[in-house]
Amino acid sequence: MSTGTPDKLTPLDETDKTSLIDEVTSEDFPDESADTVEDEPLGPLGERKFGVSESKLLELFTVCSSCSGATNGSIKQILGTMVKIETECGFCRTIRKWDSQPMVGSIPAGNLALSAGILFTGSISAKALRMLEFMRVCHTSKATFILHQRNILYPAVERVWQNHQRKYVEKAKRSGKTLALGGDGRSDTPGHCAKYGSYSMVDLDEGLVVDIQLIQSNEVKHSVNMEKEGLIRCVDWLKSEELDVSTVVTDRNMQIQKWIRENMSTTKHYYDVWHVAKVLKKKLLALSKTKDCEDVLGWIKSISNHLYWCAVSTPTGDGDVMWAKWLSVCSHIQNIHNGHDDLFPSCLHDGLTSREIKKKKWLHAGTKSCEKISDILTTVQMKKDVHKLSPKYQTSGIEAFHSTVNHFAPKMIGFSFHGMFCSSCGQRNSDVSAKKSPAPSYKLSVGSISVFPEMFGKLSIILSLL
């Protein structure tokens, strides 16, 4: 069966939109393992679809449905994935016209489902359509895919995102609680020449993305300022919705730290421990590669774990106590476990056995490795970072969310502004279970981080929101 020419579709008018809403009312797709089709009627986008060869298809049109005489069916028109067949009986002259799929408004349902499937699964349209071309499966053109995106799919994503935000605001106002939010930025390309930067705000108690702001580099002086601008816009949106923020957890971006200190003086600002530990481990790893400092390598993991423990074991967030606990590691690596500080006089671990003491490669006072590592652990910047470590909330869920966005908006591919925004907002339910687990939960369910199995499993429901 030859591939079809690009189908000529026009944007939906008001009549088509009404028809679309009436047509698209199905529930989830039937289970793939089911042997029979569900008895419950499904809409054109919800029902299952099958592949059929041209020769086998035309075999169904060899008999007249009126007089059972012989007929010859022929393909009259191909509209993307849709085929129109016409037969004329040689005896009774009955003409029969048959369409391979129903219409959604003025659009063949299969064409719309193909475009939605490509977008909502993070596929690249050129590759997906090339695969169908290779299989000699009739399909729509890239121009039609772009048309569907602009007129139907992008508006559907934006509508779902707006509904999600509206429901979140209503719930937050009813609860009357102040919000604990985490924020982090994402650039659309590696390096320092990004065109777009998005900033995601997540409710760390609920595990929901509450706002995403997309900034284009020409809106700010330099691309490195996009993260700060994203935070400002998120805060402005929260203020416009009259939501009270008590805690903000971010990375250690100096621009963001200064802005929050000057403009959110009543809000507690903490650093995500992972970001601080990441920088620290890089420094320690570099030190371990220098001469006479090879022993440092064996302590990197333990020191990093100690940083997490300093934060988690201090639920009050007292910076002085966390700093005292942190300084104890300088003595611990020398096998000194008492007399650290008045706020934290001794290590809390059990006494070490003689075998454990002999097995551990302790650092010795006065050696190059011991002096260098102590310098790194006690810098002024490290003291500032430790004082602001978050004792309860972390932004690992946002990192997982951004990893999911990378699938739908790869950094090596350029997107339009609306394409980038919808790729970010469309995954709001995808990966943020920071609420109850310190580790990210990789399942589709979290606000912006939590409303999109609909995009994948309930395509018809999404489109019905138009």
> Span 84-94, mean pLDDT?
88
Q: pLDDT band for position 416 (50/70/90)?
A: confident
Residue 246 has pLDDT above 60, yes or no: yes
> Span 11-30, mean pLDDT?
38
DSSP state of 135: T
CATH topology of domain 178-272+394-450: Nucleotidyltransferase; domain 5 (3.30.420)
Least confident of 52-61, 66-75, 137-146, 416-425: 416-425
Give residues with Cβ within 8 angstroms of 384, minimum separation 6: none
DSSP string, 346-394: B--SPPPPHHHHHHS----TTSHHHHHHHHHHT-HHHHHHHHTB-SS--
420 or 18: whose pLDDT is higher? 420
> Span 5-27, mean pLDDT?
39
CA distance 160 to 47: 22
| Confidence (pLDDT) at 34 | 40
Q: Are 328 and 349 in contact (CB under 8 A)?
A: no
Q: pLDDT band for position 422 (50/70/90)?
A: confident
Least confident of 41-45, 135-139, 231-235: 41-45
Residue 41 has pLDDT above 70, yes or no: no
Least confident of 49-58, 74-83, 453-462: 453-462
Q: 347-362 pLDDT, tens per residue?
A: 998 888 888 888 888 9
Residue 444 has pLDDT above 90, yes or no: no
Residue 399 has pLDDT above 80, yes or no: yes
Q: Are 129 and 119 in contact (CB under 8 A)?
A: no
Q: What is the mean pLDDT of the chain?
A: 81
99 or 194: whose pLDDT is higher? 99
Instruction: Find the DSSP H helices in 409-442.
Output: 417-425
Cα–Cα nearest to 413, from 163, 106, 126: 126
> Span 227-232, mean pLDDT?
94
Rg (CA), the chain: 30
Q: 313-350 pLDDT, tens per residue?
A: 999 999 999 999 999 999 999 999 998 888 999 999 88
Q: pLDDT band for position 396 (50/70/90)?
A: confident
Q: Are 310 and 325 in contact (CB under 8 A)?
A: yes
> Span 225-229, mean pLDDT?
92
Residue 31 has pLDDT above 80, yes or no: no
> Span 257-262, mean pLDDT?
94
The residue behind tokens 């088509």 is 16
| Confidence (pLDDT) at 191 | 63
CA distance 396 to 438: 7
DSSP state of 84: E
Q: Are 234 and 211 in contact (CB under 8 A)?
A: yes
| Confidence (pLDDT) at 427 | 55
CA-angle at 115, arms to 118 and 442, nearest 5°: 35
Number of H helices, E strands in the chain: 18, 10
CA distance 430 to 449: 5
Q: pLDDT band for position 377 (50/70/90)?
A: very high
CA distance 205 to 226: 26
Chain centroid to Cα 7, Å, comes to 33
Q: What percent of the chain has pLDDT over 90?
A: 48
Domain boundaries, the chain: 50-100, 178-272+394-450, 273-387
The whole-model pTM stands at 0.76
Cα–Cα nearest to 369, from 433, 423, 298: 298
CA distance 269 to 247: 6
Question: Which span out of 84-93, 183-192, 439-448 was modeled with the highest average pLDDT?
Answer: 84-93
